Amino acid sequence: MSRILSDEHRAVRNAVRDFAESEIAPVAREYDEPGKVQFPWEIFEKSADLDFLTPHYPEEYGGSGMDFLSMIIVHEEFNRADPGIGTAVLSAKFGTEMILEYGDEWQKEEFVKPVVAGDVTCGSSISEPDAGSDVAGLRTTAEKDGDEYVLNGSKTWASTSPVAEFMVVMAKTSPGEGHQGISAFIVPTDTDGFTIENDIPKMGLRASPTAEITISDARVPAENLIGDEDKGFYQLMNFFNENRIMVAANALGAAAGAYRHAYQYAQEREAFGQEIGEFQGLQWKLADMATKVETARSVTYRAAAQAIAGEDPRQLASIAKYYASEICEDVCSEAIQVHGGYGYTRDFPVEKFYRDSRVQKIVEGTSEIQQNIIYESIDESQL
């Protein structure tokens, strides 16, 4: 790992960790109250001020011009402090990546820069009630009408949408063409006919409001099309490659945070006349957790390095996302076990780590979808 991380990367890690431990961890429980959904605006704005939201974006759009691994480190450290706030803050830029890669210059100026500056949040709306993993099966349509597109349909699991200024919405522009007929649009959330419903109650991630969206004759200018018409699916798949590495980093960070809490508790809690960390059975459990965290870190960083090198990261991104999200649940569950009955209470953070991070096996393609991608990407030269 030392050959992957430069002095600059280590400086980023130190700065982000200091921020996360001083600004995020202390208020984690505050943003987890049932029925009290609230977005952590202050942390979002401070993160933007410190260039933590998008350090890998070019400087002309407000970024720091660093590499993608720096962004991965931010995701890891934010989620190590608290996966609820970490995911909420960093998903509030979700969608700007596609605009930055495929959008026109005016779109980058008008939509990307304000998010990077921390002035507004955005989101991406892909999933529908009948189309989750099957992106090609989405039914929302966008019909060209003069210099506008008219959108109709419904969306669900639209993260950040209740507080977003705009959404990147995937819709069918050629309904009979399957995945070859999908396009991406920038839709301001105050657009007539674009109705964001109430927040969906969730097991975790309560700091990240998630809603259903009803779209009825919502008109957007034709210039709000991102990239070329009918190329949205391909843009999305390319976007998923890097985003899955970021999700892997979220899971890695949550696992690392849960492991840290478990280790510290094992050094403090006493039973049968000694610290429970002195029992070999518990040492083996903690050793197994450490092994999983370090292995997840290795494959996640390797996937990031592959993306930086301009190589196709599809398979390694899916391996990282699949493995990190799977071991994250295992490590968080074991962290609760180390705490015993206390781990099942809200008095200790590990139960929140479990609830907040369980979703990582579902978002950006389920574990089963990742396994499909991994298998389909196997090359005989790898055997």
Q: Any idea which residues carry the catalytic annotation?
A: 364
Q: Of 304, 321, 328, give the one whose Cα is nearest residue 367.
A: 321
**Other C-beta atoms within 10 Å of 175: how many?**
14
The one-letter code for the residue type at 272 is F
**In this structure, are residues 106 and 112 in contact, taking their beta carbons and an 8 Å threshold?**
no
Alpha-carbon distance 115 to 35, whole Å?
Answer: 27
What is the Cα gyration radius of the chain?
Answer: 21
**In this structure, are residues 353 and 280 in contact, taking their beta carbons and an 8 Å threshold?**
no
Burial zone of 202 (CB within 10 Å; 0-12 exposed, 13-18 middle, 19+ buried)? middle
DSSP class per residue in 330-357: HHHHHHHHHHGGGGGSTTSTHHHHHHHH
**In this structure, are residues 301 and 69 in contact, taking their beta carbons and an 8 Å threshold?**
yes
Alpha carbon dihedral 163, 165, 171, 173, in 10-degree steps, equals: 170
- Per the DSSP assignment, residues forming a β-bridge with 168 are 124, 186
Alpha-carbon distance 234 to 102, whole Å?
Answer: 11
Alpha-carbon distance 95 to 77, whole Å?
Answer: 21
- Per the DSSP assignment, residues forming a β-bridge with 244 are none
- Per the DSSP assignment, residues forming a β-bridge with 184 are 170, 226
Alpha-carbon distance 64 to 58, whole Å?
Answer: 6
**In this structure, are residues 207 and 191 in contact, taking their beta carbons and an 8 Å threshold?**
no
**Rounded alpha-carbon distances, angstroms, from residue 330 to 4, 11, 105, 324, 353:** 26, 30, 44, 10, 11
Torsion 54-58-60-61 (CA) sign: negative
